[in-house]
Amino acid sequence: MAAPIARGVRELLKVVDFAQVPRRHRYKKKWATTEPKFPASRLALQNFDMTYSVQFGDLWPSIRVSLLSEQKYGALVNNFGAWDNVSTNLEQLSARDFVNEAISRWELEPKNDLSSTPSPGCSPNLRCFTFSRGDISRFPPARLSSLGLLDYYLMDAASLLPVLALGLQPGDTVLDLCAAPGGKTLALLQTGCCRNLAANDLSTSRTGRLQKVLHSYVPQAIREGNQVRVTSWDGRKWGELEGDTYDRVLVDVPCTTDRHSLHEEENNIFQRSRKKERQMLPMLQAHLLAAGLLATKPGGHVVYSTCSLSHLQNEYVVQGTIELLANQYSIKVQVEDLSHFRKLFMDTFSFFPSCQVGELVIPNLIANFGPMYFCKMHRLP
């Protein structure tokens, strides 16, 4: 499978990379050996200014300032602890459960609208609190409950959207292909709907972090029973390892992690030494998505997600991979329309209005979540 996918994505890169760079920037810069070291976060900002000003036009200055400002968090309540007390405490801080607020709104929608939207499945089991738009309060650190588990998990609330979009149903077998450090794995378990959950990540040090998260939030009986399996394999091989197996697959790929790249030098993908790795990201992402689709049962669903704003890593990867699976494997994959989903959550998040496929949460000063791109696909039977 590797060769045709690699060839296809290389073709995509040829076309798209140039289309994104304005003509005035197409020059080859010579770096003198004496030139002072440029922090990777500065290189990231330069790169974003070049590509995203073209991609987002007038929206870019406001996204830029939001990305450079403090992000907002959500508190995902641990359902394995005393969730009702924890929810009451969070409400007393004036935070609100954006998941259940959205689902209550959905239930109030007129019947004729409901018929065209899928059921919320297990999503109402998730409770995630955020402060309202414009409220930049911070959550206090999570506390240990009497059961020895932490009471909530702090995460970018937009990271919950790919899990919600996956739309788990009771008894599903689920694969989380790139799972570490484990925020989305934890959310998948919190739905209470996974018959089996396979959580995988290539990096053993990062699966170590995932194990720690599970240890802090999930009772021993669940961790050590056969409901959760943690592995450290190359996700690109999953189609060969366990083809046609899972009802739902989450493919939350490595990406340019745009917010992180602007704030942290450590492990920054814009370091000069990682240029090649950065250029190869769309290829790796397409391989992982193809493997995730091959691991899905015919009739099953996949969500692809990144925390990057780059169309090249988002919709181009989705469109290119779907085309490749059709050509190389005669596997048909349909992108699902998530516009109803966007409508449900637009009080909490700012969405980019013009994605060709999938949805993109863009950072906004009064709702500083994301970036988070997610696209739901149906592998046709």
Establish whether 376 is an annotated binding residue: no
Beta bridge partners of 96: 130
Options 128, 194, 307, 375, the catalytic residue: 307
- Contact present, 88 and 142 (Cβ < 8 Å): no
Binding of ligand SAM by 172 (CB under 6 A): no
Decide if 355 is catalytic. no
How many of the other CB atoms lie within 10 Å of CB of 66? 23
* Cα-based distances in Å from 194 to 151, 152, 169, 190, 249: 21, 20, 8, 9, 12
Per-residue binding letters, 81-120, with ligand SAM (x by CB under 6 A): ----------------------------------------
Binding of ligand SAM by 180 (CB under 6 A): yes
Structure-derived torsion over alpha carbons of residues 73, 318, 300, 189, reported in degrees to the nearest 10: -20
Residue of the chain from 9, 12, 126, 179 that contacts ligand SAM (CB under 6 A) = 179
Residue of the chain from 64, 72, 127, 184 that contacts ligand SAM (CB under 6 A) = 184
Q: What is the 8-class DSSP label of residue 356?
A: S
Binding of ligand SAM by 183 (CB under 6 A): yes
Q: Which is nearer to ligand SAM, 281 or 338 (CB)?
A: 281
Binding of ligand SAM by 181 (CB under 6 A): yes
Among positions 227-266, residues that touch ligand SAM (CB under 6 A) are 234-236, 252-254
DSSP 70-137: PPP-EEEE-TTS-HHHHHHHHHHTT-EEHHHHHHHHHHHS-HHHHTTS---TTGGG--EEEPPTT---
Establish whether 120 is an annotated binding residue: no
Cα separation, 67 vs 226, whole angstroms: 40
Min separation Cβ 38 and ligand SAM, Å: 25
Establish whether 184 is an annotated binding residue: yes
DSSP 278-298: HHTHHHHHHHHHHHHHHHEEE
Establish whether 178 is an annotated binding residue: yes
Min separation Cβ 295 and ligand SAM, Å: 12
Q: What is the 8-class DSSP label of residue 21?
A: S
Beta bridge partners of 269: none
Residue of the chain from 59, 79, 206, 242 that contacts ligand SAM (CB under 6 A) = 206
Q: Which is nearer to ligand SAM, 120 or 182 (CB)?
A: 182
What does the binding site for ligand SAM look like in residue numbers (CB under 6 A)? Answer: 159, 178-184, 200-203, 206, 234-236, 252-254
